[in-house]
Amino acid sequence: GPRRAAAARPAPRARTGDVLEAAAVVTVLAAVHVASAATEDVVLLGLTVLPLAVWAGLRLPTTWTAAIVLADATAVVLLTAHGLGPTQPLPPGLRTTTAQVLVGVVTFVTLVLALHRDDLVRAGARERRARERAQEQADLLGGVLASAQEGVVVVDAAGRVLLDNDAARDLLGVPADASRRAQDDAFALLHVDGTPVPEDEMPLVRALRGARTAGAELLLRRSDGTARRVVVTAHPLPGPAGAHGAVATLHDVTREREAAQALAESERLCRRALDASPLGMLVLPLDERPRRVLRTNPALERLLARTDLPGEDVAEVVDPTDLPLLAAALDALADGAPPRRVEVRLLGPGGRRLRASCTASVVRQGDGRREAVLLLEDLTARHEAERALAHAARHDPLTGAPNRRVLTERLAALVGGGARDGARVGVVYLDLDGFKDVNDAEGHAVGDAVLREAARRLDAAVRPGDTVARLGGDEFVVVCPDLSAEADLAAVAQRVVDALGAPYAPPARRHRV
């Protein structure tokens, strides 16, 4: 600190003026004593020693003054012992006593003056060091206040501004050279709802009454019409008889509040978008095990017919057989891999398995937590449509029996395989006699019903592994693999004839098919 720094300073060197003054005093004293030994008017010469001693005590360092006094006393003693010096005119009995008195008076006066001078010098040094420390502290305080991002205002007991920093003036919209009255008129303090703050509720006014204000968020409206959101803290500065001032700090939170408002608005827009999205949304913790549902959106709740998913394990949403696939995708995402699409089955209402496309992305929360946002697109209808299209491409749309394409593929496979292993394949080609009469007389609807019933009877009549295909119209083909003999094929043909020859439901019953 300043004290240690002062203690570490080297002792000041003797000034040239001090050296010259000391040499002059010594020279004059020596001349006085030499003259007193050679003249009869020694008393007057002896009295000149006293002003010289006073001069030395007031002007020279104490150590030098003491040395000069000691030398002068020694000279007086030696001269007195030889009957010379300032006591020469006196009787021999008084010389020694007078010399002692003279030496004592000179020594006392000189040393008292020197010590008093030292006290004055030390007092001046202390005052100088105190001023230096005060200036250092003032400079330090000024530097701290100037570099502080928060505004600082200090007032006295009457509410007059004693100290403020650049941040406070910038925040209040007050020029640095503005008068205190101009500062008072430069801004208005409002509640965040825009209502004025009563004077007796202002933080500095309350602090002058001894009350503290901690973190009050207020609206600061400046004379130029702009407004800033500030958090104000005010404390009293206690004195011997109560508060003799107060200090307030002002922290500008305008940007923070605007950012928070923008973030909240963004979150509301995102929530509304997700709530209105036709895609299901599922939010899971990315770095926690087990992964439990954090949030869902209405689309997923409608899809799964559940509103109680938050807090449940993800196994309550995804088919257990697909959980490893989903877990692997989320683990890769946690390790920094780019999002990828996987297809999983969801546990739908009534035990249904709903196929869904799942795309996960990472969202980092403000506290550092990472969440996985899963967008789920229901593919169930698409898969069913694809299966229906695939079925329609290979089956007759009226009867549901395999069509000509399946028949061709089946025959090619059986004939090729039979040629290699010697197995026999039989084919029964048939049409429905009398079907044209039914169709013409009863209409196409009845005819279609007869065809559907014929296909059903064919399926029931053939062996397991046989293929019944419709070529078109009333023509059908039965493919029979793995025949041991021709009699086996004849037996199948007879069952087919018997099945198709049975009466059909009215009104086709009036006709023989």
The mean per-residue pLDDT over the stretch 446-452 comes to 92
Assigned token pair, 125: 């040094």
Q: Are 205 and 243 in contact (CB under 8 A)?
A: no
Q: State how far the alpha carbon of 220 is from the alpha carbons of 173, 232, 423, in Å.
A: 10, 10, 99
In this structure, the answer to whether residues 111 and 175 fall within a common structural domain is no
Give the range with max mean pLDDT: 167-176, 177-186, 216-225, 321-330: 321-330
Phi, psi of 351 (to 5 degrees): 80, 5
Name the one residue in this structure whose structure tokens are 């011997």.
240
**pLDDT recorded at residue 112:** 74
Domain for residue 144, yes or no? no
In this structure, the answer to whether residues 366 and 410 fall within a common structural domain is no
**pLDDT recorded at residue 284:** 93
Confidence band, pLDDT 50/70/90 cuts, at residue 95? low
Q: What is the pLDDT of residues 41-79, one digit of tens each?
A: 555 555 566 676 776 666 677 777 777 777 777 777 776
Name the one residue in this structure whose structure tokens are 């500065």.
237
Residues of the chain with pLDDT > 70, as a percent, come to 81
Domain stops at, among 353, 383, 413: 383
In this structure, the answer to whether residues 422 and 318 fall within a common structural domain is no
Q: Are 248 and 233 in contact (CB under 8 A)?
A: yes
Domain for residue 389, yes or no? no
Domain for residue 408, yes or no? yes
Q: Are 319 and 346 in contact (CB under 8 A)?
A: yes
Residue 7, pLDDT above cutoff 60: no
What is the per-residue burial (b if ≥16 Cβ within 10 Å, else e) of 386-418? eeeeeeeeebbeebebbbeebbeebbeebeeee
Residue 181, pLDDT above cutoff 60: no
In this structure, the answer to whether residues 55 and 100 fall within a common structural domain is yes
Q: Are 244 and 157 in contact (CB under 8 A)?
A: yes
| DSSP secondary structure code for residue 15 in this structure | P
End-to-end CA distance of the chain: 122
Domain stops at, among 252, 281, 306: 252
* Residue 149, burial from CB neighbour count under 10 angstroms (0-12, 13-18, 19+): exposed
In this structure, the answer to whether residues 293 and 367 fall within a common structural domain is yes
CATH number of the domain where residue 314 is located: 3.30.450.20
Confidence band, pLDDT 50/70/90 cuts, at residue 8? very low
Amino acid at the residue 150: E
Residue 9, pLDDT above cutoff 50: no
**pLDDT recorded at residue 11:** 45
Domain for residue 364, yes or no? yes
**pLDDT recorded at residue 3:** 43
In this structure, the answer to whether residues 201 and 161 fall within a common structural domain is yes
**pLDDT recorded at residue 475:** 94
Domain for residue 38, yes or no? yes
In this structure, the answer to whether residues 21 and 121 fall within a common structural domain is yes
Domain for residue 188, yes or no? yes
Domain for residue 390, yes or no? no
In this structure, the answer to whether residues 203 and 319 fall within a common structural domain is no
Confidence band, pLDDT 50/70/90 cuts, at residue 409? very high
The mean per-residue pLDDT over the stretch 86-103 comes to 69
Q: State how far the alpha carbon of 4 is from the alpha carbons of 1, 25, 139, 141, in Å.
A: 5, 37, 19, 21
245: helix, coil or strand?
Answer: strand
**pLDDT recorded at residue 157:** 84
Find all residues with CB under 8 Å of 251, minimum gap 6, and list them: 150, 151, 230, 231, 232, 233
CATH number of the domain where residue 475 is located: 3.30.70.270
In this structure, the answer to whether residues 405 and 346 fall within a common structural domain is no
Domain stops at, among 252, 275, 305: 252
Residue 426, pLDDT above cutoff 60: yes
Residue 353, pLDDT above cutoff 80: yes
The mean per-residue pLDDT over the stretch 410-421 comes to 76
Residue 13, pLDDT above cutoff 90: no
The domain containing residue 11 runs over which residues?
2-127
Residues of the chain with pLDDT > 90, as a percent, come to 30
User: What are the residue ranges of helices labelled H in 209-295?
Assistant: 254-276
Q: Pick the more confident residue, 376 or 104.
A: 376
In this structure, the answer to whether residues 117 and 44 fall within a common structural domain is yes
Q: Are 467 and 478 in contact (CB under 8 A)?
A: yes
Least confident of 31-35, 278-282, 478-482: 31-35
Task: Please report the DSSP string for 355-411 in residue order.
Answer: EEEEEEEEEE-TTS-EEEEEEEEE-HHHHHHHHHHHHHHHB-TTT--B-HHHHHHHH
Least confident of 122-126, 215-219, 220-224, 291-295: 220-224
Residue 332, pLDDT above cutoff 50: yes
In this structure, the answer to whether residues 199 and 269 fall within a common structural domain is no
The mean per-residue pLDDT over the stretch 217-225 comes to 84
**pLDDT recorded at residue 393:** 92
Residue count of the chain: 513
- Tell me what the pLDDT averaged over the chain comes to: 81
Element (H, E) at 71: helix 62-81
**pLDDT recorded at residue 171:** 83
The mean per-residue pLDDT over the stretch 155-167 comes to 84
Q: What is the pLDDT of residues 499-512, one digit of tens each?
A: 998 888 877 667 77
Q: Pick the more confident residue, 16 or 356.
A: 356
The mean per-residue pLDDT over the stretch 210-214 comes to 89
In this structure, the answer to whether residues 247 and 269 fall within a common structural domain is no
Domain for residue 36, yes or no? yes
**pLDDT recorded at residue 183:** 47
Domains contained in the chain, number:
4
**pLDDT recorded at residue 84:** 67
Residue 150, pLDDT above cutoff 90: no
**pLDDT recorded at residue 15:** 66
